[in-house]
Amino acid sequence: MNFTLIKIDLLNKWALKCLVRFCINAPEQDHFDMGRPLKAVELFSQMKVEQANEFVFASAISACASLLTVGVGKKVHALSVILGYADVSFVSNSLVSMYMKCGQSSDALSVFTSIPDRNIIAYNAMITGLVDNKHVMKAYDIFRLMCQKGLVPNQFSLAALIGNCTAPDDLWIGMNLHCQAVKLNLDSIAFVGNVLITMYSKFNLIEEAEKIFWSIEEKDMISWNTFIVVCCHALDHAKGLNAFSDMIKTSSLTPDDFTYTSALATCSGLASSVFGRQIHGNLIRTRLNYDTGVGNALVNIYSFEHDPVVLGCLLSACRVHGDLNVGKRTADRLLKIHKVSSSPYVLLSNLYASESMWEDVAEARKQLKDSLMKKEPGHSLIEVKGTVEKFTVGRISHSSIEEIVGVLQILSFVQDDFSWCH
């Protein structure tokens, strides 16, 4: 773009219409900080010319980037050139980021090359934008240019590039960047180490990924989660479980839903519910609620036992907690291994009823009817003087049935008399 062609008299036209009717600085900045970029742009358009400054322009440009409104962003850019703010470092850096987020890499490069004294933030904005637009080689060229200019890369420079080295030809770039990280002592920082783990795992270099994981000085949640997932994908499930155990024992971090899902997935890989039960116990002690991913992982764990009692308890728990997704999966598994029982249909019907899903209730009952199975009668167990008596709905085969019926009739008369008295 050739902004020198824009004449000063256009400024007044835009000011009278919609472009440069600004308001005061503080509200515009506050609205952007609160995550309301649309309101920020609206206030920017209501502001007076004399109230504009570099902070307002940087905020307005960032708001345009969030909204991906490159058309408005270009107008703000043009106005910043006219008013002399485009050369301010954080305004120009915001312009680079805005054009990159909007997919206008040529405009971003034009702004970038026009910056007289490019700092590390400008280079990082350009590198991040290029990798986000899948131009890894161009981003690496900018990275090398930055190093040639004597600027020292920081963790953001390295992480942005390493995290996007995914193509087969990108491995050598990632390894060179790894060497840079080692020289700068940044490889032991979690922010860089995490992307290195991911990169090497994508190239199936699991041992290298493991070395980096254990070299990270202060592992964060992403570090643990990433390594557990890497072990799971590499089918080294035992190592993944050991990592989960180490996290519980040595870290002050509390596993999140993703951690539990990944750890349970490693148990599924081992086709054993022994460790899964232990993880489930830890989950119960530390978390009241969990997402669907964890619930599905638990279903996978307990399904290895082929135990209808365990799956029935899980299905009943789904009804209590209203977890429809896990409940459906559990019912399907239960029907496959326990085809002669009507309980899965009944429990699933109760689950639907608890959520007022009456059409699904009718469908579950229809499936029960079509299966030619009858609902199992209810039972009651009563202990009298150390002897347990069992009573079944609809059956009168008990040896003392006559005495029992007589007592019930007496109780019924007593209840009727009591009701009449009141």
Q: Look at residue 406 in the predicted model and tell me its pLDDT.
A: 78
Of residues 227 and 349, the one with the higher pLDDT is 227
H or E stretch covering 327: helix 324-337
H or E stretch covering 315: helix 308-321
Place of tokens 């970038």: 112
Per-residue pLDDT averaged across 51-57, rounded? 77
Per-residue pLDDT averaged across 392-419, rounded? 66
Longest dimension (CA), the chain: 107
Q: Look at residue 192 in the predicted model and tell me its pLDDT.
A: 96
388 pLDDT band, cuts 50/70/90, is confident
Per-residue pLDDT averaged across 25-29, rounded? 41
Of residues 32 and 70, the one with the higher pLDDT is 70
- Residue 252, helix vs strand vs coil: coil
Domain 118-217, CATH class in plain words: mainly alpha
Q: Look at residue 272 in the predicted model and tell me its pLDDT.
A: 57
- CB-based contact 170:204 (threshold 8 Å): no
CA distances from 361 to 322, 329, 346, 358 (A): 14, 16, 9, 5
Q: In the chain, count of helices (H) and strands (E)?
A: 23, 2
Residue 6 confidence (pLDDT) above 50:
no
Residues composing the chain: 422
User: CB-based contacts of 158: which residues, under 8 Å, 6+ apart?
Assistant: 177, 180, 181, 184, 186, 192, 195
For the beta carbon of residue 166, count every other beta carbon within 10 angstroms: 14
Q: Structural domain boundaries of the chain?
A: 1-116, 118-217
146 pLDDT band, cuts 50/70/90, is very high
Q: Look at residue 32 in the predicted model and tell me its pLDDT.
A: 44
Query: What pLDDT digit, counting tens, does each position of 112-121 carry?
Result: 999 888 899 9
- CB-based contact 237:228 (threshold 8 Å): no
User: CB-based contacts of 239: which residues, under 8 Å, 6+ apart?
Assistant: 210, 231
120-132 and 105-114 helices, crossing angle to 10°: 170
Q: What is the DSSP letter of 397?
A: -
Which is it for strands 379-384 and 387-392: parallel, antiparallel or unpaired? Answer: antiparallel
Q: How far is CA 89 from the centre of its chain?
A: 34
Residue 210 confidence (pLDDT) above 90:
yes
